[in-house]
Structures are given as structure tokens and as C-alpha cells.
């Protein structure tokens, strides 16, 4: 007993010493690496990882799935990563990968120490050519730079864009998306630029993808696959990871047939069709089971967080929504001092982050930052991320942040409206925020004011317009709140505290044993508190100064 106590003290003392040296807490296996006990500590490029009996190849992408499958980096060889002995894991940056949040920075430092100067830290970025078919009805065709979005997505997925191709056609070629002449051009370009992947800004049908792969002898990634890949590498929370996995499996299920076509082509005679079909059915069944399992687990998480939210009497929720990279997280950081991840890249944020923000008039609101949108966000993804986006759906007010300096701002605005419509959130009161005003000249400002007279022009970077934003939010919250005079027995202290927390007090005094106040309160909170007020023997009526018929009738 005493010995195990000593051992424990020794272990924690060692970890304590490491923390005091700035290394923080380390998992046991990382300790082994630090202490030089790891067998794989000195391995070099091209060898396999022998840490913890892993055997996973080093210095190569750890991605042995077939090329057209959506991937979750780090999903394979999980024990390898968990063990902490892998060079890739040790050197992986804090912004990527499943472990990075909790252990990234100090693990990185360990990696630097133990493998200093020995090996490149990451495989080289994949060289990709981006290509789009610009049909008259496609959104991209109307953009100032039709390839800007898909290029941004490819970069966000960690690729290096080495070539760009577009083809104007009434609609994508039914077999290969691009016409035969264009295919020759793409083939030559990919060869000249030594590209390994062609990223197509389309949702390819399984047969189009297969034909393109055959024609070009390259890996083909379509838009949905690319977005799923970005989400897979960025997902941090358990819920986000499950949501991405669900979206990937749903996407995969619709494409399963294509993966078994090599069996169809083995001759098609007796004895060859059967196994192929059986395998397809087996895969479908397994994927179906996995999908149901994921849905069940997500529903559990969703129900738990919904119950928690219903039990809480939270202040008004204001959600930041908008096109990706518009500056939503930057605004959250600026207003609340939160430690959200801000980066000049698409889909920097994948989880919802909520922080308290105190308005100038003393009211506190919950400010929520969430996933940004892009044009034609894959439906599977919107469906899978419904729970994350649900916080947005339940907001009292949406702040639609738009990058005013983006030449394609109108397209971006429409894209966001369309996703909000898909989520059923288009009825929520919305305030348009035009961000990045510091990048605009005077003429652009005048044009924007004429175009969006209701919007608030701000710059998170320079701080311009943030006071106006505060006032505009307060005004919006007041516009649909009820204005009531309430009288509560002063013994109902909790009720009075709740009222103070979720409403805006305009006047407060004690009359005898009663607390009397004139309050502005949102309909949601009023619905939650009305019963309690009645039970506590409180009285309430539309405030004398309130001209709102809605207020009077509700209060009555
Ligand atoms: N010039 C300028 N840049 C800004 C401003 N606000 C944000 N940015 C930059 O815009 C980029 C994107 O900012 P984020 O806050 O990560 O954008 P986001 O909307 O949260 O993006 P996602 O999470 O990807 O949807 C970052 O490089 C910011 O520094 C601004 O007012 N002016
Ligand atoms: Mg963000």
C-alpha cells in the first residue's frame, strides 16, 4: 500500500517537474519517449514505427483507404496515436488532428526535443489542380473569381493548388463532367504541373468520377468529398466527430456500388456476379448498422444538451452566422475576450462556442459562434450538423456577419440565406453586420450604405462600429420584447434574481414588502417565468409607457 503510494507520488512528482519546465501534463507513453525508453525514438524516414509494436509506416501519409473514400485522418491506427510514441503524432501541430486540443502544444515541444533536426515534420502538401464546369445556372459562374471558393477549400484541406481550369458548358458532360477537348487540356496541365489530384467543383455522379479517374489516371476529389475531408480533419468535440463520421458514411453509402464495379467487370459470368453482389449487400448492411448506431449516439448527446438548455434560464442568445471566413470568431473574441480559433482559412470553426457578453445597458446576452457556411453546403453535412446548428436555430437574434470587402458578397449572402432556409432558421430576427470595413474605400462604403441601409458597418480589426453594434442589438432585443410592470413579493428572492438576469430593468423600487419594477422581457423568458410569478402571488400588467398592443394582450 505504502509502496504504491510512493510510486504514485513519484509519477506525479515527475509530471509536476515537467509542468514546471513548461511541458505540462504528459500521457504515460509520451513520458516513455521523453525518458528515452521508447524503442522507436531514433527511427528514421522510410522505416516503420516500432513504438509500442505499432508497425505503421513512417514518413508516408497514413491513409491506406482507397482513393475515392472519404477519410478521417488519424482514424486509422488509433492506438498508435494514443500511445503518443508516433513521430507524426508528436510533431503534429495544435490546429490539426484529434489530439491536438488537449495535448498539442506540449507534445509538439516533446517532439522537437526528441527528434530535433532529424526528419521533415509533415508529408509535402498534395499538388492539386482545381477545375469547374461553369453552367449558366451555377453560382460559381456568377462569382468574380469562379474558382476562388474551391481553391480556398482545397487549401483548407492542406493541398497546394498548382493549376486552375474552367469550362463553360450548358451543363456538365454526362460521362466525364468536362468535354473531351477539355479533358486533354486538363491531362496536359496535370502532367506539366506534376499534380496528383484533380479537385472538381461539382458533386460528381459515381460514374462521372469513375470515368474521369480512368481518363486522367489521377485521383479525383469532388466538392462534397473535399468539404467532408476538411470537416474530418477539423472536428474537435465528440459530437462534431460523430457528425462528420455520419455524413461520411451517408455519402459513402450512396457510392458503394461504384466501389464494387471491378467485380462486375471480372467477366460477368456465372460465379462472378454473386460474390460482388453479396459483398455489396454486406457492406450496405454494415454501413447501415453503423449509421443507425451513430444516429442513436448523436440523438443521446442532442437530448442531453437540450434537457440542460431547457433547465437553464439562459439570457437571450445571439448567434453569429455567416459565410466562412467572414470574421465571426474574430467578433466573438473581440466582444467577449473568448479564446476562439481565428484563422484566414475556410471552416476554421466547426463547433459551437457560447460566451456571455454584457451590453452597454447592463443586459447580458449569450453570444454563440458556430460553423460558417459555403455555397451549396452538402446536404448530408447540414443534416448531420443539425444538432450543432440547432443552437443557431434556437437563437433569439441572428447576427449575419458578411465580409463586406469580398467582391462576391452578394453570392455569399444568398448562400447563407439558403442554408438558413434549409435549417428552418430564416424566420428568426436577423441583423446584418458588414465586417472588414477597414478594407473599404469611401466610395465602397457609400455604395454599401445604399445597398444595405439596415446593416451595421463594423471592423473587428480597427474596432470601428462596435458601439453601434451594441446599440443595434439592444434595439433589436427591445423591439420584440414585452414591456411590463411587475410587482413581486420581496420574499421571492430567486424569482426577482431570475427576472433581473433575463430582462432589462427600466425602473426598480420597493413598495412596502413588494419589489416593483418596469421590465423589458423577451417572449421566451416570459413564457418560462409567468407560471412561477403567478405561483409566487406576483402581479403584472403592460407597462404604462408601452404602446405595444402585443405587450398589453400578452400581459393580460
Ligand atoms: N482586415 C480585416 N480582417 C478581419 C476582420 N475581421 C476578421 N478578419 C480576418 O478574417 C479572417 C477570418 O476570421 P475568422 O474570425 O476566423 O472568420 P470566421 O467567420 O470565424 O471563419 P470560419 O470559422 O472559417 O467560418 C482572419 O484572418 C481574421 O483576422 C476585419 O475587421 N478586418
Ligand atoms: Mg470561426
Of 57-71, 195-209, 250-264, 525-539, least confident by mean pLDDT is: 57-71
C-alpha distance from residue 450 to each of 263, 400, 446, 454, 521 (Å): 62, 18, 6, 9, 33
pLDDT, position 458: 96
Most confidently predicted of 28-42, 78-92, 243-257: 243-257
347 in contact with ligand 1, CB cutoff 6 A: yes
pLDDT range class, residue 4, cuts 50, 70, 90: very low
Protein residue with its CA nearest to atom 11 in ligand 1: 344
More confident residue, 551 or 160: 160
Residue-range domain boundaries for the chain: 2-115, 127-231, 235-310, 314-477, 481-555
pLDDT, position 78: 33
pLDDT range class, residue 203, cuts 50, 70, 90: confident
CA distance 244 to 552: 47
pLDDT at residue 44 greater than cutoff 60: no
pLDDT range class, residue 150, cuts 50, 70, 90: very high
Ligand 2 centroid distance, CA of 340 (Å): 7
- The pLDDT mean for the chain works out to 73
pLDDT at residue 201 greater than cutoff 50: yes
pLDDT, position 275: 53
70 in contact with ligand 1, CB cutoff 6 A: no
Q: Classify domain 314-477 at the CATH topology level.
A: Rossmann fold (3.40.50)
Ligand 1 centroid distance, CA of 207 (Å): 38
pLDDT, position 363: 82
Read off the pLDDT of each residue in 544-550 and give the average, rounded to a whole number.
47
Q: What is the DSSP letter of 351?
A: S
Residues 6+ apart with CB under 8 A from 227: 153, 347, 374, 377, 378, 381
**Residue 40, all three cell numbers:** 522507436
What residue ranges in 76-117 does DSSP mark as E strands? none
CATH 3.40.50.11060, applies to 127-231: yes
* Ligand closest in space to the Cα of 405: 1
Do domains 127-231 and 314-477 share one topology? The answer is: yes
**Residue 476, all three cell numbers:** 433589436
Helix (H, G, I), strand (E, B) or coil at 230: helix
442 in contact with ligand 1, CB cutoff 6 A: no
Q: Are 555 and 541 in contact (CB under 8 A)?
A: yes
Protein residue with its CA nearest to atom 9 in ligand 1: 327
pLDDT 10s digits, 99-122: 333 333 333 333 333 444 455 566
pLDDT, position 70: 39
Cα–Cα nearest to 488, from 555, 537, 556 = 537
Percent of the chain having pLDDT more than 90? 28
DSSP string of 495-526, one letter each residue: HHHHHHHHSEEEEEEEETTEEEEEEEE-HHHH
CATH 3.90.1170.50, applies to 481-555: no
pLDDT range class, residue 277, cuts 50, 70, 90: low
Burial 336-349 (b: 16+ CB within 10 A, else e): bebebbbeebbbbb
Protein residue with its CA nearest to atom 1 in ligand 1: 436
pLDDT, position 176: 93
Alpha carbon 348 to chain centroid, angstroms: 7
pLDDT 10s digits, 319-373: 999 999 999 999 999 999 887 778 887 888 877 788 999 888 888 888 998 888 8
348 in contact with ligand 1, CB cutoff 6 A: yes
Q: What is the DSSP letter of 353?
A: E
More confident residue, 328 or 375: 328
pLDDT 10s digits, 480-533: 788 888 999 988 888 898 888 888 888 888 888 899 998 888 888 888 888 888
pLDDT 10s digits, 424-444: 888 888 999 999 999 999 999
Ligand 1, closest atom to CA 325? 21
pLDDT 10s digits, 62-105: 333 333 433 333 333 333 333 333 323 222 223 333 333 333 33
pLDDT, position 322: 93
More confident residue, 417 or 383: 417
**Residue 375, all three cell numbers:** 455555397
pLDDT, position 396: 86
Protein residue with its CA nearest to atom 21 in ligand 1: 325
Q: Are 505 and 364 in contact (CB under 8 A)?
A: no
pLDDT range class, residue 271, cuts 50, 70, 90: low
Ligand 1, closest atom to CA 373? 25
Read off the pLDDT of each residue in 238-242 and give the average, rounded to a whole number.
84
pLDDT 10s digits, 223-233: 888 888 888 88
For ligand 2, a single-atom ion, which residues have Cβ within 5 Å?
Answer: 329, 348-349
DSSP string of 288-325, one letter each residue: HHHHHHHHHHHHHHHHHHHHHHHHS----EEEEEEBTT
pLDDT, position 264: 47
Q: Are 524 and 394 in contact (CB under 8 A)?
A: no
pLDDT 10s digits, 408-418: 899 999 999 98
Amino acid at each position: 500500500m505504502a509502496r504504491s503510494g510512493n510510486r504514485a507520488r513519484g509519477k506525479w512528482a515527475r509530471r509536476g517537474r515537467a509542468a514546471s519546465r513548461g511541458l505540462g501534463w504528459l500521457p504515460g507513453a509520451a513520458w516513455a519517449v521523453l525518458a528515452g525508453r521508447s524503442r522507436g525514438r531514433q527511427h528514421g524516414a522510410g522505416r516503420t514505427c516500432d513504438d509500442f509494436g505499432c508497425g505503421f509506416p513512417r514518413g508516408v501519409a497514413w491513409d491506406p483507404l482507397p482513393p475515392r473514400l472519404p477519410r478521417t485522418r488519424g482514424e486509422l491506427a488509433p492506438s498508435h496515436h494514443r500511445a503518443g510514441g508516433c513521430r507524426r503524432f508528436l510533431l503534429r501541430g495544435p490546429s490539426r488532428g484529434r489530439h491536438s486540443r488537449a495535448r498539442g502544444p506540449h507534445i509538439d515541444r516533446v517532439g522537437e526535443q526528441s527528434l530535433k533536426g532529424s526528419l521533415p515534420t509533415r508529408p509535402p502538401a498534395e499538388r492539386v489542380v482545381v477545375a469547374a464546369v461553369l453552367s449558366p445556372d451555377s453560382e460559381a459562374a456568377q462569382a468574380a473569381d469562379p474558382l476562388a471558393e474551391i481553391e480556398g477549400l482545397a487549401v483548407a484541406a492542406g493541398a497546394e493548388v498548382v493549376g486552375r481550369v474552367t469550362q463553360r458548358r450548358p451543363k456538365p458532360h454526362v460521362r466525364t463532367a468536362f468535354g473531351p477537348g477539355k479533358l486533354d487540356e486538363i491531362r496536359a496541365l496535370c502532367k506539366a504541373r506534376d499534380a496528383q489530384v484533380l479537385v472538381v467543383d461539382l458533386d460528381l455522379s459515381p460514374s462521372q468520377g469513375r470515368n474521369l479517374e480512368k481518363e486522367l489516371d489521377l485521383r479525383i476529389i469532388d466538392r462534397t468529398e473535399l468539404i467532408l475531408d476538411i470537416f474530418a480533419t477539423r472536428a474537435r468535440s465528440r459530437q462534431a466527430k460523430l457528425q462528420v463520421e455520419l455524413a461520411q458514411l451517408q455519402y459513402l453509402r450512396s457510392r458503394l456500388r461504384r466501389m464494387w464495379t471491378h467485380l462486375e467487370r471480372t467477366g460477368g459470368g456465372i460465379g462472378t456476379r454473386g460474390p460482388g453482389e453479396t459483398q455489396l449487400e454486406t457492406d450496405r448492411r454494415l454501413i447501415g448498422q453503423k449509421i443507425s448506431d451513430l444516429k442513436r449516439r448523436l440523438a443521446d448527446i442532442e437530448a442531453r444538451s437540450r434537457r440542460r438548455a431547457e433547465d437553464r434560464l439562459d439570457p437571450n442568445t445571439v448567434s453569429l452566422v455567416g459565410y466562412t471566413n467572414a470574421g465571426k470568431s474574430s467578433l466573438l473574441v473581440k466582444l467577449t475576450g473568448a479564446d476562439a480559433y481565428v484563422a484566414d482559412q475556410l471552416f476554421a470553426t466547426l463547433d459551437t462556442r457560447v460566451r456571455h457578453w454584457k451590453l452597454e445597458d447592463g443586459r447580458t446576452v449569450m453570444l454563440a459562434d458556430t460553423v460558417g457556411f459555403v455555397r451549396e453546403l452538402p446536404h448530408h453535412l447540414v443534416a448531420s450538423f443539425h444538432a450543432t446548428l440547432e443552437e443557431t436555430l434556437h437563437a433569439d437574434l441572428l447576427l449575419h456577419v458578411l465580409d463586406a470587402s469580398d467582391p462576391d458578397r452578394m453570392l455569399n449572402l444568398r448562400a447563407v440565406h439558403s442554408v438558413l432556409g434549409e435549417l428552418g432558421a430564416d424566420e428568426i430576427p436577423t441583423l446584418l453586420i458588414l465586417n472588414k470595413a477597414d478594407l473599404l474605400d469611401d466610395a465602397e462604403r457609400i455604395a454599401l450604405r445604399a445597398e444595405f441601409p439596415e446593416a451595421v458597418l463594423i471592423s473587428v480589426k480597427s474596432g470601428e462600429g462596435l458601439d453601434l453594434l451594441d446599440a443595434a442589438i439592444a434595439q433589436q432585443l427591445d423591439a420584440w420584447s414585452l414591456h411590463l410592470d411587475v410587482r413581486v413579493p420581496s420574499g421571492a428572492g430567486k424569482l426577482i434574481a431570475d427576472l433581473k438576469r433575463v430582462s432589462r430593468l427600466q425602473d426598480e423600487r420597493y413598495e412596502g414588502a413588494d419589489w416593483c419594477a418596469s421590465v423589458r422581457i423577451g417572449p421566451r423568458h416570459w413564457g418560462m417565468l409567468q407560471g412561477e410569478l403567478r405561483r409566487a402571488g406576483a402581479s403584472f400588467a403592460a407597462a404604462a409607457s408601452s404602446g405595444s398592443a402585443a405587450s398589453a394582450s400578452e400581459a393580460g
